Amino acid sequence: MGSKRATAGTIGARGSEPVGPDAVSLDSRICKVYVKSAMEKLSALQLRQSLGKAIERLERTGEPILLEKGRRPVAVLISLRDFQERFAEKEAMEARDRVLEELRGLRRPSVDRTPAVEILRELRGAG
């Protein structure tokens, strides 16, 4: 399982988010360069023959592995840590947003229209 390494270039501060009309093609080109140069590749046959070694490599290095079928990229194996960082955090953010929406729905307008500054003055004067 030899690994190829190369620098694929710099991605902007926004990562791979679309930025303009050429963003999709630029993003696609960057992805192709990275996939071709930086990731270890395994064919479907190699994966079937050496799944244990691929798993050990993922645990050891944490680097993704590109799976190819007929020399065509079809999938990427990632470590459990990468999966959790990318997907579990996303789920947590979505859950947080749902809770915030529920809390916003529970808001009730104040019955007392007295400005907060006046209430504080009254409390300080009474104490």
Q: What is the pLDDT of residues 64-107, one digit of tens each?
A: 998 989 888 888 899 988 888 888 788 888 899 999 999 888 88
Q: Among 29-38, 45-54, 81-90, which range has the highest average pLDDT?
A: 45-54
pTM of the model: 0.47
Residue 49, pLDDT above cutoff 80:
yes
Q: Are 81 and 60 in contact (CB under 8 A)?
A: no
Residue 61, pLDDT above cutoff 80:
yes
Of 52-56, 58-62, 109-113, the range with the lowest mean pLDDT is 109-113
Query: Distance between alpha carbon 91 and the CA centroid of its chain, in Å?
Result: 10
